[in-house]
């Protein structure tokens, strides 16, 4: 029997989940093809079991069938970039909440979840510093010829352009500024100019303006129907001589053919990405040290990010079951 935590909200509209959580031993599954650090899993267990619920783990799974089987009787699911498709949702008969421990939730079929009344949340900001540090490291790596021989260059004095000024974009901007870079940003969703001004960042009004001034362009846009394949030939060709594109966002936002064409026509351009594109082998062969792609997405691969995001996910689930808190719901 789970520990009963007093229900404090008087005006909650739907108490069904809360009452279910009192009479039922909620089952929470952590399904991570790319596992969390052990410390993060221990912390998740402490929160889940502390609330009186049961935790199960499906780590490093290699087959979708394993996920379909594991979700069959769970009430809540914690994932990373794991794909929660309509098929997974169909197989999860008791599922009430999915928390993506991280920022991007393009891996969850929101329509299928909403159709079943399943709440989907992310944990915004929890792994941002890890991703921002990687972006900065990637800039240095490319500026120094991938740590091989030859004369490199410095970040100081160069223009760092941030495409989308959210949690990660802001941190990349601040770290770049600390290295002496001139930081410029574009984000059509931020209407309040003081957000940029507070960081001493110059705001530009179009994506074209941003790329045209970028010695380093750090991408932080999500993968949506609007952004998929949106970064390609024209934008790259407009970048200054010797410019570098850094992608710690999503591989899907890149028009791979367009980028290949630009890198072929402009031998001064460079591209580094956190998760290899479909054309990785061709890029390696054609562009040598002007291109680098990590074999597996590693932006959030730090113990700190795993702990921050994993524990936040566990807390959000308990808070949902106990208090009905939907602050981080993304499918409202
Ligand atoms: C995110 O969207 O939070 C990052 O891309 C991290 O993804 P990961 O948890 O799969 O490493």
Q: 131 and 299 in contact (C-beta within 8 Å)?
A: yes
Q: Please indicate whether residue 227, judged by its CB atom, sits closer than 6 Å to ligand 1.
A: no
Q: Tokens representing 311?
A: 């524990």
Separation of CA 182 and ligand 1 centre (Å): 27
Q: How far is CA 189 from the centre of its chain?
A: 18
pLDDT for the residue numbered 17 = 73
pLDDT for the residue numbered 1 = 41
pLDDT for the residue numbered 8 = 42
Q: What mean pLDDT do residues 216-229 have? A: 98
Q: What mean pLDDT do residues 41-70 have? A: 98
Q: Tokens representing 137?
A: 């490291």
H and E: helices and strands count for the chain: 13, 12
Does position 13 have pLDDT exceeding 70, yes or no? Answer: no
Angle between helices 303-323 and 38-50 (to 10 degrees): 10
Lowest-confidence pick of 4-18, 80-94, 217-231, 266-280: 4-18
307: Cβ contacts below 8 Å, ≥ 6 apart = 37, 39, 40, 43
Q: What mean pLDDT do residues 64-83 have? A: 98
Q: Please indicate whether residue 277, judged by its CB atom, sits closer than 6 Å to ligand 1.
A: no
What proportion of the chain, given as a percentage, has pLDDT over 90?
A: 92
Does position 7 have pLDDT exceeding 90, yes or no? Answer: no
pLDDT for the residue numbered 25 = 87
Q: How far apart are the first and last CA of the chain?
A: 31
Does position 10 have pLDDT exceeding 80, yes or no? Answer: no
- pLDDT band of 14, cuts 50, 70, 90: low
What stretches of 124-259 adopt beta strand conformation (E)? 159-163, 182-186, 202-203, 216-219, 244-247
Pocket of ligand 1, candidates 128, 171, 247, 300: which has the most ligand atoms within 8 Å of its Cβ, to mutate? Answer: 300
Q: How far is CA 267 from the centre of its chain?
A: 31
Does position 97 have pLDDT exceeding 80, yes or no? Answer: yes
Q: Which pLDDT tens digit goes with each residue over 135-156?
A: 999 999 999 999 999 999 999 9
Q: What mean pLDDT do residues 77-100 have? A: 98
CA distance 245 to 266: 13
Phi and psi at residue 5, to the nearest 5°: -100, 135
Does position 11 have pLDDT exceeding 90, yes or no? Answer: no
Does position 4 have pLDDT exceeding 70, yes or no? Answer: no
What proportion of the chain, given as a percentage, has pLDDT over 70?
A: 94
Does position 2 have pLDDT exceeding 90, yes or no? Answer: no
Q: What mean pLDDT do residues 3-20 have? A: 53
Separation of CA 105 and ligand 1 centre (Å): 9
Does position 6 have pLDDT exceeding 90, yes or no? Answer: no
Does position 19 have pLDDT exceeding 80, yes or no? Answer: no
Does position 319 have pLDDT exceeding 60, yes or no? Answer: yes
Which of the two residues, 94 and 3, has the higher pLDDT score? Answer: 94
The upper half-sphere exposure of residue 256, i.e. CA atoms within 13 Å in the direction of its Cβ, equals 15
Q: What mean pLDDT do residues 41-47 have? A: 98
pTM above 0.75, yes or no: yes
Residue with tokens 């113990």: 303
Among protein residues, the one whose CA lies closest to atom 11 of ligand 1: 300
pLDDT for the residue numbered 184 = 98
Q: Please indicate whether residue 299, judged by its CB atom, sits closer than 6 Å to ligand 1.
A: yes
Mean pLDDT score across all residues of the chain? 94
pLDDT for the residue numbered 20 = 73
- pLDDT band of 15, cuts 50, 70, 90: low
Phi and psi at residue 298, to the nearest 5°: -125, 10
Lowest-confidence pick of 15-24, 131-140, 242-251, 259-268: 15-24
Full DSSP string of 203-221:
E-S-HHHHHHT-SEEEE--
3-class DSSP state of 97: strand
pLDDT for the residue numbered 16 = 67
Q: Please indicate whether residue 297, judged by its CB atom, sits closer than 6 Å to ligand 1.
A: yes
Q: Please indicate whether residue 168, judged by its CB atom, sits closer than 6 Å to ligand 1.
A: no
């Amino acid at each position: 029997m789970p520990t009963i935590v007093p229900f404090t909200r008087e005006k909650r509209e739907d108490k069904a989940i809360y009452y279910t959580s009192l009479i039922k031993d909620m089952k929470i599954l952590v399904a991570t093809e790319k596992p969390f650090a052990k410390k993060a899993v221990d912390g998740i267990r402490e929160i889940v079991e502390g609330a009186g619920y049961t935790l199960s783990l499906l780590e490093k799974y290699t087959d979708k069938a394993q996920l379909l089987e594991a979700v069959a009787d769970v009430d809540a699911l914690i994932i990373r970039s794991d794909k929660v498709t309509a098929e997974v949702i169909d197989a999860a008969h008791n599922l009430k909440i999915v928390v993506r421990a991280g920022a991007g939730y393009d891996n969850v079929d929101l329509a299928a979840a909403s159709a079943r009344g399943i709440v989907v949340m992310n944990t915004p900001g929890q792994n941002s510093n890890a991703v921002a540090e990687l972006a900065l490291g990637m800039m240095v790596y490319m500026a120094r010829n991938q740590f091989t021989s030859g004369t490199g260059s410095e970040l100081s004095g160069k223009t760092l352009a941030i495409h989308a000024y959210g949690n990660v974009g802001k941190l990349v901007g601040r770290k770049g500024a600390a290295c002496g870079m001139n930081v410029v940003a574009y984000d059509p969703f931020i209407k309040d100019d003081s957000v940029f001004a507070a960081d001493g960042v110059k705001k530009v009004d179009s994506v074209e303006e941003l790329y045209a001034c970028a010695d380093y362009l750090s991408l932080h846009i999500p993968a949506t129907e609007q952004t998929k394949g949106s970064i390609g030939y024209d934008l790259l060709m407009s970048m200054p001589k010797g410019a570098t594109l850094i992608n710690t966002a999503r591989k899907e936002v890149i028009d791979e053919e367009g980028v290949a064409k630009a890198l072929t026509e402009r031998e001064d351009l460079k591209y580094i990405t956190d998760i290899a594109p479909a054309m990785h082998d061709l890029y390696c062969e054609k562009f040598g040290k002007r291109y680098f792609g990590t074999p597996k997405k590693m932006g959030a691969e730090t113990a700190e990010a795993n702990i921050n995001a994993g524990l936040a996910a566990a807390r959000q689930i308990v808070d949902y079951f106990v208090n009905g808190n939907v602050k981080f719901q993304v499918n409202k």
